[in-house]
Structure formats: structure tokens, C-alpha cells
Amino acid sequence: MTAQAEARQLVELIAGPVRLGENVKAALARVARLTGLGDRRVRGIWNGEARRIEAEEMDRLRRAALDASTLEDVDRAYRAHLARLRACREILGHGALGQAASRQAAFRLPAADAAGRVDHAELGLAGAQDRPVDRGGRR
């Protein structure tokens, strides 16, 4: 596979599926923002107009594609975990004991929107007391 073909595949992987209401130009701008490459450069790679791809550009594309792939895998695992928790809640909620309400409260799960995103503040996993992770670097 040529470098141009691989770079185009990486741009496609990083862009992912085009979001509702988003056009291709906006998706390519998002790729440019994630990779640090220019908008015109990313569009040139996408359209097959790039005659050569520098090693640094390819490294940036590969790193961003790996990050996008990892994020997608984590999101898929998270959604599967929430589905299993909801199934447990349903099973425990229909049990023979009369404590169905307390069981439901113990397994309270946030409602998901159409895209499957969940408000973590509802679970108490995120909120005003949360602070960004300190990476130990000096500013």
C-alpha cells in the first residue's frame, strides 16, 4: 500500500462516521485539529492530491488513529457494561422478594440519550468536586 493510500485510510479512521448535521468538510477540520496538520493538507490527503506524505505527518496520523481506535473500543466496552448493569437491574427488580424498590435504587443507572451518552453526574461519578488529573509537569 502506498503512503498516500495509507494516509487516506488513516484520515478516514480518525474522522469516523460523519455526525448528524455535520458535513465532510467539518469532519476533515476535526481531523486537522486532532492531528495538528493544516486543514488544506488534510483535505489534500483525503482527495488524493498529496503527492508525498512526510514521515512526521504519517506519525501524527497513525498516533491520532490509534487514539481514535482506542477511544472507540473503550466506548464500546462501556456501553456493553451499562447494558449488563441494566439487565441486572431488570432481573433483580422482578425478583420474588418485596424489596424491588430498594434493589432498583441500589442499581440506579442514568438515562442514556439517543447516542448512548450518559450524564455521569447523575451517578455521582463526576461533579463539582472533580479536578483535572495532574500530569506532574511544571507550568
pLDDT in tens, 46-58: 888 888 888 999 9
Q: Give Cα 114 distance to the centre of its chain.
A: 15
User: Strand, helix or coil at 112?
Assistant: strand
All 3 cell numbers of residue 21? 448535521
Identity of the residue numbered 79? R
Instruction: For residue 123, give the nearest of 139, 100, 106 by alpha carbon.
Output: 106
Q: How far apart are CA 24 and CA 27, in angstroms?
A: 5
pLDDT per position as a tens digit, 17-26: 777 777 888 8
Mean pLDDT of the chain: 75
Q: Assign 121 a pLDDT band (cuts: 50, 70, 90).
A: low
Q: Is residue 11 a contact partner of residue 31, using CB atoms and an 8 Å limit?
A: yes
Per-residue model confidence as pLDDT tens digits over 31-79: 999 898 988 999 999 888 888 888 999 999 998 988 888 888 888 888 8
